[in-house]
């Protein structure tokens, strides 16, 4: 059944997800802060809007994929600009950005107060998975609401995982990113250990890659380090942002020690000017 979808945020991920929606025959209304990023989808039939509110007008479902809490607050709730006020009661708001747990819960409450169903649906995966429609959605919210948007999410999904209540889907996404972030730093440390003992990096990578303890993600990061290929799929700046959200959600300092130590390495990488390089470039903060 054809649906009118509003999509807020035409970044590397959002534009690809929106493209799958458009290809499936749904009506698509799009907005992006930098309007030029809408041009490719506009050429394929999407309607470009001047504000999130206009993109949400007449939409059955509105999806957001933006950078952080501040951007999310702006696109959903800014007066005379945000999408929530433009949505009709009974509409469905879907937040696919990676945000803090606290803000996600606040947004769900605001949507509820305005008669709008809300789901958090952050994704695990990067640009290649978004391009191929192989993302994993981590859902927080009511199962009945998920059922209404399940077919739409499936257009860009390898898996849709209902985690639980509002906040829990976002908690899972932050956990996934924290696990990846700590692997990158741990990898840098063990490579530094091996280098100190005179073992060439390519040999270290070869042997570590054959070990059963080495994850597929770590193998990919090691390959990137060997090739000195740092084009951003998950940029260091976003990793650092997400670790901040993880630490804000930790119940006490003792629990957050590993994530806190990991975050300091990413902050150092940011200070070095590597924020737009891919996550594995954080190794340079220890190895160089």
Report residue 244 as tokens: 């901040």
Last residue of a domain, one of 147, 166, 185: 166
**Same domain, yes or no, for 111 and 28?**
yes
**Same domain, yes or no, for 179 and 156?**
no
Last residue of a domain, one of 105, 134, 166: 166
**Same domain, yes or no, for 54 and 159?**
yes
Q: What is the DSSP string of 207-269?
A: HHHTSTTS-HHHHHHHHHHHHT----SSBHHHHHHHHHHHHHT-SSTTTTHHHHHHHHHHHHH
**Same domain, yes or no, for 18 and 45?**
yes
Domain that holds residue 19: 4-166
Tens digit of each residue's pLDDT (9 = 90 or more) over 92-125: 999 999 999 999 999 999 999 999 999 999 999 9
Last residue of a domain, one of 113, 148, 166: 166
**Same domain, yes or no, for 157 and 227?**
no
**Same domain, yes or no, for 162 and 69?**
yes
d(CA 168, CA 152): 21
Mean pLDDT of the chain: 96
**Same domain, yes or no, for 192 and 144?**
no
Phi and psi at residue 189, in whole multiples of 5°? -65, -45
Q: Is 148 exposed, middle or buried (0-12, 13-18, 19+ CB in 10 A)?
A: middle
Give per-residue burial for 157-172: e unless 16+ CB within 10 Å, then b.
beebebbeebbbbbbb
**Same domain, yes or no, for 261 and 280?**
yes
Indicate the number of domains in the chain: 2
Contact yes or no for 42/55 (Cβ under 8 A) = no
Tens digit of each residue's pLDDT (9 = 90 or more) over 204-219: 999 999 999 999 999 9
Residue 243 has a pLDDT of 97
Stated pTM of the model:
0.95
pLDDT band at 288 (very low <50, low <70, confident <90, very high): low
Q: CA 187: distance to chain centroid? A: 22
Tens digit of each residue's pLDDT (9 = 90 or more) over 247-285: 998 877 677 889 999 999 999 999 999 999 999 999 998
Report residue 243 as tokens: 């670790």
**Same domain, yes or no, for 125 and 230?**
no
**Same domain, yes or no, for 37 and 156?**
yes
CATH of the domain at 120: 3.40.50.720
Q: Measuring CA to CA, which residue among 148, 64, 141 is closest to residue 105?
A: 141
pLDDT band at 83 (very low <50, low <70, confident <90, very high): very high
**Same domain, yes or no, for 200 and 266?**
yes
Residue 82 has a pLDDT of 98
**Same domain, yes or no, for 14 and 118?**
yes
Q: Decide if pLDDT at 183 tops 80.
A: yes
CATH of the domain at 237: 1.10.1040.10
3-class SS at 119? strand
């Amino acid at each position: 059944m054809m649906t009118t979808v509003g999509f807020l945020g035409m970044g590397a991920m959002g534009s690809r997800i929106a493209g799958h929606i458009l290809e499936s025959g749904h009506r698509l209304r799009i907005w992006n802060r930098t309007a030029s990023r809408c041009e490719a989808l506009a050429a394929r039939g999407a309607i470009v809007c001047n504000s999130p509110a206009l993109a949400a007008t007449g939409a059955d479902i509105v999806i957001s994929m933006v950078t952080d809490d501040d951007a999310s607050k702006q696109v959903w709730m800014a007066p005379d600009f945000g999408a929530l006020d433009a949505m009709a009661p009974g509409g469905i708001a879907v937040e696919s950005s990676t945000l803090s747990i606290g803000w996600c819960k606040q947004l769900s409450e605001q949507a509820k107060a305005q008669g709008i169903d809300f789901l958090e649906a952050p994704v695990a995966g990067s640009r290649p998975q978004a391009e191929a429609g192989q993302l994993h959605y981590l859902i927080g919210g009511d199962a009945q609401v998920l059922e209404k948007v399940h077919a739409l999410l499936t257009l860009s999904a390898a898996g849709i995982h209902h985690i639980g209540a509002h906040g829990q889907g976002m908690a899972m996404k932050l956990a996934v990113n924290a696990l990846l972030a700590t692997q990158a730093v741990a990898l840098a440390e063990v490579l530094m250990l091996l280098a100190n003992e005179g073992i060439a990096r390519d040999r270290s990578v070869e042997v570590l890659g054959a070990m059963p303890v080495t994850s597929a993600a770590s193998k990919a990061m090691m390959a990137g380090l060997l090739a000195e290929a740092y084009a951003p799929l998950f940029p260091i700046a976003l990793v650092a942002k997400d670790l901040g959200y993880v630490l804000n959600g930790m119940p006490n300092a003792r629990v957050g020690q590993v994530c806190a130590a990991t975050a300091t390495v990413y902050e150092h990488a940011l200070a070095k000017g590597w924020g737009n390089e891919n996550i594995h470039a954080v190794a340079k903060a220890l190895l160089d």
